[in-house]
Structure 1
Amino acid sequence: MPEGSPVAHPEPPTAVEVHQPQPISLHPPAVPVAALQTHAVPTVASIVLPDGRAITGYAINPAHPEPVAVKPAVSRTAVNVALGGVGFLAVCGGLLLLTSFIAALTALIAQLIILAAVIFGGWIAVQIFSGRGHQGGTTVNIRKAVIKRNHFHG
Structure 2
Amino acid sequence: MNEPTRRHAAHPTAALQVHQPAPIVVRPAAPAIVQPHTVPSVASVVLPDGRIVTGYAIDPVQPARVAAKPVVSRAAVNIALGGVGFLAVCGGLLLLTTFIAALTALITQLITLAAVIFGGWIAVQVLSASGHRGGTTVYIRKAVIKRNRFHG
TM-score (norm 1): 0.54
When residues 20 and 143 of structure 1 are mapped into structure 2, their CA distance, relative to the original with a 3 A threshold, is: farther
Whole-angstrom CA distance in 2 between matches of 1:117 and 1:150: 50
Q: Specify which of 127, 130, 152 is matched with residue 129 of structure 1.
A: 127
Larger radius of gyration: 2
User: Paired residue for 1:77?
Assistant: 75
Q: Deviations over 1:34-67 (max 9, x none)?
A: x831459xxxxxxxxxxxxxxxxxxxx9xx9866
User: Paired residue for 2:56?
Assistant: 36
Offset of 1:125 from its aligned partner?
1.7
Q: Specify which of 94, 97, 109 is matched with residue 95 of structure 2.
A: 97
Residue type of the alignment partner of 1:24: R
- Structure 2's unaligned 5+ residue stretches are 1-23, 28-46
User: What secondary structure sits across from 1:133 in the alignment?
Assistant: coil
When residues 39 and 129 of structure 1 are mapped into structure 2, their CA distance, relative to the original with a 3 A threshold, is: closer
Q: Specify which of 22, 26, 31 is matched with residue 20 of structure 1.
A: 26
User: Paired residue for 1:107?
Assistant: 105
Whole-angstrom CA distance in 2 between matches of 1:101 and 1:109: 12
RCO higher in 1 or 2 (8 Å CA, sep ≥ 6)? 1
TM-score (norm 2): 0.55
User: What secondary structure sits across from 2:51 in the alignment?
Assistant: coil
Whole-angstrom CA distance in 1 between matches of 2:84 and 2:65: 36
Residue type of the alignment partner of 2:52: S
Count of residue pairs brought into register by the alignment: 108
User: Paired residue for 2:36?
Assistant: none
When residues 65 and 151 of structure 1 are mapped into structure 2, their CA distance, relative to the original with a 3 A threshold, is: farther
Identity value in percent = 69
Offset of 1:86 from its aligned partner?
0.2
**Deviation >6 Å, runs of 4+:** none
Offset of 1:85 from its aligned partner?
0.6
Residue type of the alignment partner of 1:95: L
CA RMSD of aligned residues (A): 3.4
Q: Deviations over 1:74-124 (max 9, x none)?
A: 221211111011001011111111111111111111111121112112211
- Structure 1's unaligned 5+ residue stretches are 1-17, 27-32, 41-60
